[in-house]
Every structure is written in C-alpha cells, then in structure tokens.
Structure 1
Amino acid sequence: MSVDDITAEGGPRERILAATAKLLAEGGEEAVSTRAVGAAAGVQAPTIYRLFGDKQGLLDAAAAEGFAAYLSDKTELAFTDDPVADLRAGWDLHLDFGLANPALYLLMFGRRRPGTVPPPAAVAGYEVLATHIRRIAEAGRLRVTEERAAQLVHAAGSGATLALLAQPAEQRDREVSALAREAVIAAITTDAPAAQAPGAAGAAVALRAALPETTALTEAERTLLREWLDRIARH
C-alpha cells in the first residue's frame, strides 16, 4: 500500500490529507505548501490553518494518517507463537513501508533534530516495535533490557531503510537490510528461554517483562523492583 491510497472522499479534513499525501508522494516535502494543498483539496488556506494549525501540523497529521492506513492494511501479519519470527516480519514490513513511501518515511524518521518531539506517526511505529520486544521478553528469549533492545532495533532498522532510500532505486540491495536484521536479532535474543540459561541477567529480563501482570506488589514496589531488575540485566 502507498499513501496514494488514502481516500480523498469525505469532508475538508479528509480531502486535505489526501491532497497532502499525493503531493508528498509526487514531489516530497518541498512540494507541500498551503497553496498547493488548498488548490488540490478545493479549500481555502484558513480552513487548513483551522484544522491543522500550520504546515508542520499538516505534515504530522499526513504522516500519522499514512502510517495508520498502512498498518490497518497489514492485518494478515497477526502475532504467531514465535515472537522472534514476528519481529523479523515487522522489520521487513518497516522496510517495505519505507521503500514504498520514501517522502513519507523521510518525514517520519529522517527529519528529526536533537531535542525535538518525534511526529505522532513515528511514536506509533515505536509503540508497535515495543510490543514485539515485550513479547520476546515475556517468552524468556531477550538477552538485554527491553529498552536497549527496542533502541537497537529502531536504530538499525530505520538506519538501514534510510541508507537504502539514499541510493538510486535500481541499486538498492535489500539483502543489506536482511543482514542487519539478523545481526540485531542475534544480539538481543537467545535460542532458548533466557530464564533457563545460567546467569541472573536472563532471569531478570524475563521477570521484568512479567511485572505488569504482578498484583502482589504495590506500584511503588513494582517501580523499585523494576529498577533493580534493569540494573541486573544491564550487567
């Protein structure tokens, strides 16, 4: 699916988002202006400002809409009994999304400045990733903390996608992404449940994943235990 599939039907908001998605796909972020969007959507500039605030608000909304539409079209990628295989499938889905929607992907992941708040679409993508990591931890197969695993997968996955997007389409080697994926998976997971392996770190990671389901502790006690388990896992 591409951002062109976002419907242009409905009210002004839907038409504006559809026009923005089309301009992004055809000419990148530079092609998006309130005048161009207004002309394509059949609305006046004040309507755009009223609904989205400014151009950045419009771009953030278009990115979130495009990403949501893409995820909703991928319901066949339901969770299986193998959370590591699901992470692998999620990585490939992320790559496919980036290569199919380069301008939108760059808007989500390639325009960040240090200290700025990430766009809503990027936050949603990271939450999907965190869910994959949590399931691996719950299965006892995570060898590092959830936070470190998520950061590593996010950095390597988005980095590989951005690197491929920087190359001409005919020169892109998807195997580069696959090699990066397998290297990261090997670094953060174990073949067997970590709790069955010697050492306290694996057991700490597995127990940390189960804490949200624990009712025998108060919230303060869970917070303290979480800190202790993270410290054990890191060492």
Structure 2
Amino acid sequence: MARPRNRDYHELRRELVDAGGRLLAAEGPAALTTRRVAQEADVSTMAVYQLFGDKAGLVREMFLAGFERLAEAFAAVRRTDDAVADLLALGHAYRASALANPHLYELMFGRPIPAFQPDAETAALIQPTFDTLVAAVVRCVEEGDFAPAEPFGLAVRINALAHGLCSLQLRGALGDAEEARRHWDGAFDTMMRGLRGG
C-alpha cells in the first residue's frame, strides 16, 4: 500500500482525523464515509485509503489521535513539589484536551460507532494516559497527602469525575465557560478534601 510522502504524512493524517471527527460529531455515524471525509479535507478518497486502509482504520486512528493529544497535554504538565497540585494540573490538562478536541471526545469514551471496539493492541496504546493518572495518585498517597487507600481505585473515581464534568460541559449542561469552571473547581475541591481524610 503506497504511503503519502513523509513530509505530508502527519499533517494530512491530522486533517483527515479532524475531518472525520467533525463529521461524526455533527452528523452522526452515517456521515462518516471515506468520500465525505476526503471531501472535508479537500483530498482524494485514495488518500484516506493510503493512510488508513479503510473506514475501520480511519475510525481507529481517530480514536488513537484523541488519546495522543491527551497524552501530549499530560506531558506538558510540569512536576512540582506539590503532589496534589500536580494531580489537579493533570485534571485541568484533561479538561483542556477535551475542550480542544470535542469532535474526538465521544469516540474516545463512548460508543457512537457500535461496530468499533478497540482491540487489545489499541487498548495497550492508550493505557499510558490512565497510567499517568494512577502514578500521580500513587505519589499523593505515598507522600501522605491522601489518606491511605488503594491508588488504582482512587484513580478510577477521579477519572470518572473528570469525565462526567467534561461530558456535561461539552453538552452545554454546565452553563457558560465561567460557570463550568466553577463547577469543576467545586467538585474537585470537595473530592480532594475527602481524599485528604478531612
């Protein structure tokens, strides 16, 4: 299978992934065809096949791209001497990534395309994003910032809170941007107090 020139590959991949995400978010799964995606990106349908193989390959790449962007957001968070502040910074990075990529968020965490189910290889590729959260929670527990608890379970609960708030905000259910931020801060303040044991 021919591959586009190296200098074009990453830019074209991003354009096609974003085109597919916008179509899926705006019009639903029926709109997500290789022809429509190619039209949105102003390229030939052959370019979609060259990069992704078929529509299923495109959907997989859209899914992975969302997590790649999340991983980049996490990687940009600088470590400090305050474990809890660093954990909260990861939460803000998660929220910023969701707001920057709303067209990919539902595919990352929902089932808008019932036929798409990440296989074991794909699941392994996205695991590091959750591992980053678990490691941040482990640090909070080990440094005594959180009451003794099993870190994985805490990470699941923190992730659930962040996901729920982001999903609501993306649907416009938390008011304007300032109101949404207040809801976010209030919810995490409450959770952090509970995790500190006080």
Aligned to 1:188: 195
Partner AA of 1:44 in structure 2: T
Structure 2 matches for 1:173-184, cutoff 5 A?
Answer: 173=179, 174-184=181-191
Partner AA of 2:135 in structure 1: T
Aligned to 2:110: 110
Aligned in 2, Cα 1:73/1:57: closer, same or farther, shift over 3 Å?
A: same
Instruction: Answer whether contact 1:83 1:135 (CA < 8 A) is retained.
Output: yes
1:131 corresponds to which of 125, 131, 135 = 135
How far apart are the structure 1 equivalents of 2:161 and 2:75? 24
Does 1:160 pair with 2:165? Answer: yes
Does 1:19 pair with 2:16? Answer: yes
How far apart are the structure 1 equivalents of 2:69 and 2:101? 12
How far apart are the structure 2 equivalents of 1:95 and 1:122? 17
Instruction: Answer whether contact 2:74 2:94 (CA < 8 A) is retained.
Output: no
Structure 2 matches for 1:94-105, cutoff 5 A?
Answer: 94-105=94-105
CA drift of 1:128 comes to: 2.1
How far apart are the structure 1 equivalents of 2:57 and 2:17? 12
Partner AA of 1:97 in structure 2: S
Partner AA of 2:52 in structure 1: F
Structure 2 matches for 1:211-226, cutoff 5 A?
Answer: none
Aligned to 2:68: 68
How far apart are the structure 2 equivalents of 1:41 and 1:128? 37
Aligned to 1:42: 43
CA drift of 1:71 comes to: 4.5
How far apart are the structure 2 equivalents of 1:100 and 1:59? 19
CA drift of 1:152 comes to: 0.4
* Length-normalised TM-score, structure 1: 0.62
Instruction: Answer whether contact 1:110 1:162 (CA < 8 A) is retained.
Output: no
CA drift of 1:75 comes to: 5.4
Aligned to 1:28: 25
Instruction: Answer whether contact 1:20 1:62 (CA < 8 A) is retained.
Output: yes
| Structure with greater Cα Rg | 1
Aligned to 1:141: 145
Identity rate, percent: 25
CA drift of 1:108 comes to: 1.1
Partner AA of 1:139 in structure 2: E
Structure 2: gaps (5+ residues): 1-5
Partner AA of 1:145 in structure 2: E
How far apart are the structure 2 equivalents of 1:100 and 1:73? 10
Does 1:84 pair with 2:84? Answer: yes
Instruction: Answer whether contact 2:77 2:93 (CA < 8 A) is retained.
Output: no
* Length-normalised TM-score, structure 2: 0.71
Aligned residues: 180
Instruction: Answer whether contact 1:83 1:136 (CA < 8 A) is retained.
Output: yes
